[in-house]
Homo-oligomer: A and B are copies of this chain.
Amino acid sequence: MEFASDNMVGAHETILTAITEANGGPAASYGYDRWTKQAEAALSEVFEREVAAFLVLTGTAANALALSAICPPYGTVLCHAEAHIHTDECGAPEMFSGGARLTGLPGPQGKLVPNSVERWLDGLIRGEHEAKPVALSITQTSEFGTVYSVAEVSEFGHLCKQRQLRLHMDGSRFANGVAALGCTPAEITWKAGVDVMSFGGTKNGAMALEAVIFFDLALAQDFRYRRKRGGQLLSKGRFLGAQMQAYLRDDLWLQNARHANRMASLLAAKLTEIKRIRLPLPTQANEVFAILPRSLHLQMLDNGAHYYEWPSGENLETEECLVRFVTSFRTTPEDVERLAELAGKLAKQSRAPSAEGAPTVGL
């Protein structure tokens, strides 16, 4: 019952096969091989326009490199306070940009809202005594499993144009967002005003694969220097190219994402039926957030369920906790069924002692 993260499962078999097939014979190194060239072209097809695509190895590097191309050291990037770049990358954006600052703003359901961005910008009064706002970053799918609609991204696109900000999209779960929206990749990115994105593969079936994609080609001009200098230019680059080819071929990336999303919907539906569990957030992609009694949570872990408690800004009851379930291309309906059954069974059992007034927290 593995629901801890979509990076805890291995790679999709098609990806591994592609790696193996790419192994024969010599090939140009450092991304000049034919797999990489074809993968870059395939990305342009996916986005229905010429893009400048750069394959890299980790999501943190993809984000940090992308931001370094749009944010000078004296600049600041606005993002959600719970954005991965703000809370989970140990200052990689600061390092790759040469010391730029991230400004974390609040927003409901893990999503930034244009209003609070505008208000923050309007509150700047110190001129050069403060970092210059130069970019905005949104995460699609957000860190709370919610999805920005095309209209919402477009609103940010307009705001950025007006305010002379660059718009970055952290797309480590981009596939899940596209699958959820049923839109084209183009509609939710450059057509909506996105300048540069991190296009994730690892969480959705690849082994180690991310791409930095520039829609504004001018921004990409010297990016190959940044990638090399950032330690992200793989010498045996064919293995990145081969992964990306397989990831895009026959829409594997969307198939994987759709499957994961379906599994999350299924799980959400089943958990909703359990009385002692409530879902504080809509389940739009492949993450289900739930609030449940801590005692129930601990029993579930004891019984083999694997998932994480999540830091909560919400005002929970003392005995409650917030948890996150993530589904992946590997999750089966049976996995979901087993987890839901376990939760249902334990929820019924634990209600009894709780009614007897026995303290259940801290077990």
Additional A-B contacts beyond A57-B58, A91-B99, A127-B224 (13; CB < 8 A): A5-B235, A57-B57, A57-B234, A60-B231, A74-B225, A74-B229, A90-B228, A95-B99, A128-B224, A128-B227, A202-B235, A231-B231, A231-B232
Q: How far, in angstroms, from A29 to B126 measured CA to CA in the complex?
A: 13
Inter-chain contact B90/A94, CB cutoff 8 Å: no
Interface residues on A, range: 35 or more
**Among the listed B11, B72, B130, B231, which residue makes an inter-chain contact with A58, where contact means beta carbons less than 8 Å apart?**
B231
**A16 located at the interface, meaning its Cβ lies under 8 Å from any Cβ of chain B in the complex:** yes
A65: B residues at CB distance < 8 A: 231
Q: How far, in angstroms, from A88 to B5 measured CA to CA in the complex?
A: 37
**Chain A residues within 8 Å of B, Cβ to Cβ:** 2, 4-5, 7-11, 13, 16, 19-20, 22-30, 56-62, 64-65, 72-74, 76, 87-92, 94-101, 123, 125-132, 202-203, 207-208, 222, 224-236, 238-239, 306, 311
**Among the listed B7, B91, B125, which residue makes an inter-chain contact with A73, where contact means beta carbons less than 8 Å apart?**
B91
Distance of A195 from chain B, by nearest CB (Å): 18
Distance of A338 from chain B, by nearest CB (Å): 14
Inter-chain contact B23/A11, CB cutoff 8 Å: yes
A8: nearest chain-B partner, CB-CB = B26
Q: How far, in angstroms, from A222 to B134 measured CA to CA in the complex?
A: 11
A97: B residues at CB distance < 8 A: 98-99
Q: How far, in angstroms, from A229 to B89 measured CA to CA in the complex?
A: 6
Q: Which 4 A-B pairs have the closest CB atoms?
A: A61-B231, A98-B98, A7-B235, A10-B23
Distance of A176 from chain B, by nearest CB (Å): 16
Instruction: Decide yes or no: A230 and B8 within 8 Å by CB, A19-B207, A224-B128 being known contacts.
Output: no
Instruction: Decide yes or no: A22 and B8 within 8 Å by CB, A126-B87, A129-B90, A222-B132 being known contacts.
Output: no
A76: B residues at CB distance < 8 A: 91
A27: B residues at CB distance < 8 A: 8, 10
Inter-chain contact A229/B91, CB cutoff 8 Å: yes
Inter-chain contact A91/B100, CB cutoff 8 Å: yes
Inter-chain contact B10/A236, CB cutoff 8 Å: yes
A57: B residues at CB distance < 8 A: 57-58, 208, 231-232, 234
A207: nearest chain-B partner, CB-CB = B239
A10: nearest chain-B partner, CB-CB = B23
Most buried by B among A58, A91, A99: A91
Q: What would 7 A/B residue contacts be, using CB atoms closer than 8 Å?
A: A30-B129, A58-B232, A90-B229, A92-B229, A128-B233, A129-B228, A208-B234
